């Protein structure tokens, strides 16, 4: 199945995490939303995000291995809509600039959902 997904990531406490080439980032306690896609196999991509024992390859890997809770919303689609979703989130939430968007022109694909505990 092809598609897009939104990961909801909860950190119970604030943490400083080294995120590959982005360096150390201070993550506040609370929920984050990450927008991604799996245009070959979205289920396999999302399943990988839930594994704690994995090679840290993408920016999101550095955060998911530190997550206290992790949820996924899968959107089956043949159209790559992740950047359009990221633009909607950008207009409504604070972002971690440069996170998860090295292959597009988006400001970010990771958003802090302020106020959610």
The whole-number pLDDT of residue 48 equals 96
The whole-number pLDDT of residue 114 equals 80
Residue 84 lies in a domain: yes
The whole-number pLDDT of residue 103 equals 87
| Structural domain count of the chain | 1
For 22-46, the pLDDT digits (tens) are: 999 999 999 999 999 999 999 999 9
For 60-114, the pLDDT digits (tens) are: 999 999 999 999 999 999 999 999 999 999 999 999 999 999 889 999 999 999 8
Residue 82 lies in a domain: yes
The whole-number pLDDT of residue 116 equals 65
Residue 117 lies in a domain: no
Confidence (pTM): 0.94
Asked if residues 24 and 16 have their Cβ atoms less than 8 Å apart, the reply is yes
pLDDT at 18 over 80: yes
Residue 19 lies in a domain: yes
pLDDT at 115 over 80: no
The whole-number pLDDT of residue 9 equals 97
Residue with tokens 């092809």: 2
Range of the structural domain that residue 50 is part of: 3-112
Q: Which two tokens stand for residue 68?
A: 């206290």
Percent helix, strand, coil in the chain, to 5, is 25, 35, 40
């Amino acid at each position: 199945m092809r598609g897009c997904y939104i990961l909801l990531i909860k950190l119970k406490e604030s943490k400083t995490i080294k995120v590959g080439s982005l360096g150390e980032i201070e993550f506040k306690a609370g929920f984050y939303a990450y927008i991604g896609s799996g245009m070959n196999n979205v289920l396999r991509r999302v399943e990988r995000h839930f594994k704690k024992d994995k090679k840290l390859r993408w920016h999101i890997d550095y955060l998911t291995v530190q997550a206290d809770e992790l949820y996924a919303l899968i959107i089956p689609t043949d159209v790559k809509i992740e950047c359009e979703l990221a633009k909607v989130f950008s207009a409504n939430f604070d972002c971690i600039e440069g996170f998860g968007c090295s292959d597009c022109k988006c400001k970010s694909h990771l958003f802090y959902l302020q106020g959610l505990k």
